[in-house]
Amino acid sequence: MNPKPSSRRPGAHPSSGTVANTRSDHARRPPPRALPPLPAGSLGEALLVASDALAAVLKGYALNDGLLGLWRAYPDLSPATRGAAQDLIYSTLRDCGRGTAILSRLLSKPLEEPRIEALLLIALHRLESRPDTAHTVVDQAVEAAARLAEGRLKALVNGVLRNALRQWPELIAALNADPVARWRHPEWWIKKVQSQHPEHWESLLAGNNDHPPMSLRINPQRTALADYTAALQAADIAFEPLGPLALRLDNPRPVAQLPGFAEGQVSVQDWGAQQAASLLDVQDGQRVLDACAAPGGKTAHLLELAAVDLLALELEESRSQRVRDNLSRLGLSAELQTVDCRRIDAWWDGRPFDRILADVPCSASGVARRHPDIKWLRRAEDVAGFATVQAEILDALWQVLAPGGKMLYLTCSVFAEENGRQVARFASRHANCRRAAFADGTTERQWLPDAQHDGFYFALLEKTA
């Protein structure tokens, strides 16, 4: 039997001794006694905090917005609890298709309390990933539930989790037969990947569910590769070289622990994202446009590689500020405008650009492991919406590219509508567009997420006249 919250029966008024009137006992009783906060650093505290942000995602809010609100709501969290809560949030979202499938089998009807639903999803994920801590997880989840929804659903949380433990083998067998639960992606996403990447769809979906790698880009204007790798070794930070100025850490860590980060010696940037600056082939003295610049990693990389006159555009002021902050830390400078890049009359001074980086808005299907909420917030029709915006951006930017100039089209998507099909449609609309080849002779690159990098698409377009 599925556990349900107990109902309260009307009874005699405690002070009068008379028969109770028609109001419920719950309406007459005083507010529940406030419980003391959960012990700092406990799993219960992390569960309680994490349920707040996950509940916001369940309501349809982006995870980044939920986390900003979370840290404002809990300003005194210890770094350990903050890190534990964030890990619980991200890990649960990566496995959310599995958690919701389990929960649907344990409840007779959907929950009306988002934070309780979030708490159960997090606890169920923890039970599967850390079965050796089952007793502690149930105990701490129940303690957290006592501080939510006025404690009304504490018994429900206890019952659901204990039922899950009793039924675990049967639950897992049922999940493995459910594609959404097995692959931890929405059904439409699974089908699209199966159709468009028939040889790699399983590894692609599995890669989206992994923890992402942490790669670094060394700033050659502030340090040398040999000096920085020596600093990592001195700090006992293990790494693997990826390229002349790139490293991948064996284990991710906070940027505050990275030698020279505050001094601008290094940036955190995925190895796939680091390809953009070199593929654009910038040279000293060129006029360069970064049309969708935030958070500024690629903007900075272009400036690190060549002495260029760079204009960076971003749609929102808050995102523009992130670009400014990144450039300031690295000791770099560029002109920055907050404007819609499609409205060229609002920002273009009439001087054409030699190079344009078009890192366009997209479904972010290639970086879902870094932003696991998008798997559950995106809808199939959103892909077509992004493709429309991308086409508008490409057509606008083509007008400001100089003859003989090059534009690198870039997405962090694995969907063909945003990638190869988009570029083919653009080339068919513009007779003066030539698909330029990369050094390996190819005219496009589709990187799928793996242990080294996230998923990206690149195409280099040259304006012939």
**Domain assignment present for 313:** yes
| Whole-Å CA distances, 169 to 104, 128, 166 | 16, 11, 8
**52 and 113 share a domain?**
yes
Q: Are 20 and 12 in contact (CB under 8 A)?
A: yes
User: Which tens digit of pLDDT belongs to each residue from 425-437?
Assistant: 999 999 999 999 9
Q: How many domains does the chain have?
A: 3
Cα–Cα nearest to 184, from 175, 173, 196: 175
Distance between CA atoms of residues 115 and 70, nearest Å: 13
**Domain assignment present for 323:** yes
Q: Are 259 and 230 in contact (CB under 8 A)?
A: no
pLDDT of residue 33: 57
**53 and 144 share a domain?**
yes
Distance between CA atoms of residues 43 and 387, nearest Å: 43
Residue 66 host element (H or E): helix 63-73
Higher pLDDT, 219 or 12: 219
pLDDT of residue 308: 98
**142 and 246 share a domain?**
no
Q: Which of 69-78, 111-120, 229-238, 441-450 has the lowest mean pLDDT?
A: 69-78
Reply yes or no on whether the pLDDT at 12 is more than 50. Answer: no
Using the 3D structure, point to which of 247, 269, 291 is the last residue of a domain: 269
CA angle 213, 218, 220 (to 5 degrees): 165
What is the dihedral sign for C-alpha 102, 181, 148, 139?
Answer: positive
**113 and 255 share a domain?**
no
| Whole-Å CA distances, 67 to 5, 48, 51, 92, 313 | 30, 14, 11, 14, 26
Catalytically active residues, by annotation: 412
**Domain assignment present for 95:** yes
Q: What does the DSSP assignment read for 232-274?
A: HHHTT--EEEEETTEEEESS---GGGSTTTTTTSEEE--TTTT
**320 and 247 share a domain?**
no
Q: Which domain holds residue 254?
A: 214-269
List of E strands, 115-258: 214-218, 239-243, 246-249
**In degrees to the nearest 10, what's the CA dihedral of 135, 137, 142, 146?**
140
Distance between CA atoms of residues 156 and 235, nearest Å: 48
% residues pLDDT > 70 (the chain): 93
Reply yes or no on whether the pLDDT at 393 is more than 80. Answer: yes
User: Which tens digit of pLDDT belongs to each residue from 301-341?
Assistant: 999 999 999 999 999 999 999 999 999 999 999 999 999 99
**260 and 279 share a domain?**
no
**Domain assignment present for 141:** yes
**292 and 248 share a domain?**
no
Q: What CATH number is given to the structural domain containing 254? A: 3.30.70.1170
**Domain assignment present for 331:** yes
**426 and 323 share a domain?**
yes
**Domain assignment present for 28:** no
Centre a 10 Å sphere on the Cβ of residue 302 and count the other Cβ atoms it contains.
Answer: 25
**Domain assignment present for 200:** no
**314 and 451 share a domain?**
yes
**343 and 386 share a domain?**
yes
Distance between CA atoms of residues 378 and 65, nearest Å: 16
Q: Are 313 and 339 in contact (CB under 8 A)?
A: yes
Reply yes or no on whether the pLDDT at 68 is more than 70. Answer: yes
pLDDT of residue 50: 95
Residue 313 host element (H or E): strand 309-314
pLDDT of residue 285: 97
Reply yes or no on whether the pLDDT at 360 is more than 60. Answer: yes
**254 and 229 share a domain?**
yes
List of E strands, 130-228: 214-218
